[in-house]
Chain A
């Protein structure tokens, strides 16, 4: 079947089988390899993308269902070529990436969290990433990265008089 997908602000008209998951469609048809295939049945979280701004598992929906809804993958969060988003930057700085397999999903979950809650507590950060497995067990640095990104994003583009 023919569908139109809106990924990272670009419209793609593609031919998919109904059984093609959004994950397989992103990776194999659109060549967006940042959404990672881990367990492929909704347990590991590696395939997380933003679907209308909400973090969802792209292995648990079919591409046909996603037609017409804005989707953001890790490739879509950078401000420009060669640049990093503040969250990506914080992950580098705190060594929040280990082998890197869970990283794109962790960053997208952090984006969804911080869009909603600019000042999360440690507990809220832990809750937000609780559905994402890091098999290197680098959780401490991931939590640190999200807290650092939150702090920087709160401070960005604000007059000093408003900062704490």
Chain B
């Protein structure tokens, strides 16, 4: 379990990191390294050069930028987990983060690293897609933005251009009186890779009816998916359990679900319906001011 030899460079700023990436096709950026280092020691990845962006201070921040919360690419997951602004403004992100790995991996793992890695079972891509987050990256001396829904295109595959480096992500903040969130996942052991995960955020109107809803499921398809048709069907309804279940069933009926040793395609579809309906139910109770449920899925 030793990595193959490589050169190590510490980038002073993002443009230097991009220049180093451009100069060597087999160079890789290292942020938290919680996925890359295991890949390297198992020799599944053999970069010729590691470009360390951990000390670029400008990439580590959490700030309110009007109607969104912007988070820098190398901001540690544990920092976001404890952040009061995130808890207040992006509760779905705050709710999902404790499910990422363990405390010791969240202490090193970064927001940008998990997004760029694009594991189909990872929580952060799911939350980014569910909330319509916008990612920003630097490439060839310019900063560009890309919506999360256009960023993830396959398992560990993104549209980040070669030689590009993520700089941050912006989560839209929902302004409203009655907003609630729900998140559920099922895995073999606590904090292992999810077999299926589901996230939902709702806004209820004064009449208690659904004013706005987003639902996403992860680990079921090659990259997290939004359940657009279910969202459209449920708008304006009271979000009662039967209607939610029916809408989710329909939305997930024709998907091409992943299958592996741990979970069959049929299991994943079934679990996705169940977890998404629990996530919506939690989001509704949360929006109604009831205490949020702790993740009590069977492990």
| Interface pair A131/B1, CB less than 8 Å apart | no
- Nearest Cβ in chain A — how far from B9, in angstroms? 9
Stretch in B100-108, B134-142, B243-251 with 4+ CB within 8 Å of A = B100-108
Interface residues of B in 19-65 (CB under 8 A from A): 30, 33-34, 37-38, 40-42, 50, 52, 54
Residue of B nearest to A41 (CB): B38
Central interface residue in B1, B40, B50, B107, by most chain A CB within 10 Å:
B107
- Nearest Cβ in chain A — how far from B78, in angstroms? 7
Interface residues of A in 37-53 (CB under 8 A from B): 39-42, 45, 48, 51
Size of chain B's interface in residues, with CB distance under 8 A? Answer: 29
Size of chain A's interface in residues, with CB distance under 8 A? Answer: 29
User: What residues of B have a CB within 8 angstroms of the CB of A56 in the complex?
Assistant: 104, 107-108
User: What residues of B have a CB within 8 angstroms of the CB of A109 in the complex?
Assistant: 103-104
- Nearest Cβ in chain B — how far from A87, in angstroms? 16
| Interface pair B8/A55, CB less than 8 Å apart | no
User: What residues of A have a CB within 8 angstroms of the CB of B4 in the complex?
Assistant: 19
Residue of A nearest to B54 (CB): A65
User: What residues of A have a CB within 8 angstroms of the CB of B5 in the complex?
Assistant: 17-19
| Interface pair B37/A48, CB less than 8 Å apart | no
Given contacts A40-B1, A54-B78, A60-B38, contact A45 B8 (CB under 8 A): no
Quick one: which of B41, B54, B104 contacts A45, CB cutoff 8 A? B104
Interface residues of B (CB under 8 A from A): 1-8, 30, 33-34, 37-38, 40-42, 50, 52, 54, 78, 101-105, 107-108, 190-191
Q: Report the Cα distance A64→B42, complex, angstroms.
A: 20
Given contacts A18-B50, A41-B38, A60-B38, contact A131 B107 (CB under 8 A): no
Given contacts A18-B50, A130-B191, contact A60 B108 (CB under 8 A): yes
User: What residues of A have a CB within 8 angstroms of the CB of B7 in the complex?
Assistant: 18
Q: Summarize A's interface: helix, strand, loop or mixed.
A: mixed
| Interface pair B50/A60, CB less than 8 Å apart | no
| Interface pair B103/A128, CB less than 8 Å apart | yes
Given contacts A130-B190, A131-B101, contact A64 B8 (CB under 8 A): yes
- List 10 A-B residue pairs with CB atoms under 8 Å apart, sorted by A's residue number: A18-B7, A42-B38, A55-B107, A57-B105, A59-B1, A60-B34, A60-B38, A65-B52, A65-B54, A128-B103
Closest 4 A-B residue pairs measured CB to CB?
A: A131-B102, A18-B8, A40-B1, A54-B107
Q: Report the Cα distance A97→B42, complex, angstroms.
A: 30
| Interface pair B108/A131, CB less than 8 Å apart | no
Given contacts A18-B7, A42-B34, A62-B8, contact A55 B1 (CB under 8 A): no
Asked whether any CB of chain B lies closer than 8 Å to the CB of A127, the reply is yes
Asked whether any CB of chain B lies closer than 8 Å to the CB of A1, the reply is yes
User: What residues of A have a CB within 8 angstroms of the CB of B6 in the complex?
Assistant: 18-19
User: What residues of A have a CB within 8 angstroms of the CB of B191 in the complex?
Assistant: 130-131
Asked whether any CB of chain B lies closer than 8 Å to the CB of A61, the reply is yes
- Nearest Cβ in chain B — how far from A68, in angstroms? 9
- Nearest Cβ in chain A — how far from B225, in angstroms? 28
User: What residues of B have a CB within 8 angstroms of the CB of A45 in the complex?
Assistant: 102, 104
Given contacts A42-B38, A65-B52, contact A1 B8 (CB under 8 A): yes
| Interface pair A40/B41, CB less than 8 Å apart | yes
| Interface pair B104/A55, CB less than 8 Å apart | yes
Residue of B nearest to A47 (CB): B104
Residue of B nearest to A39 (CB): B1
Residue of A nearest to B108 (CB): A56
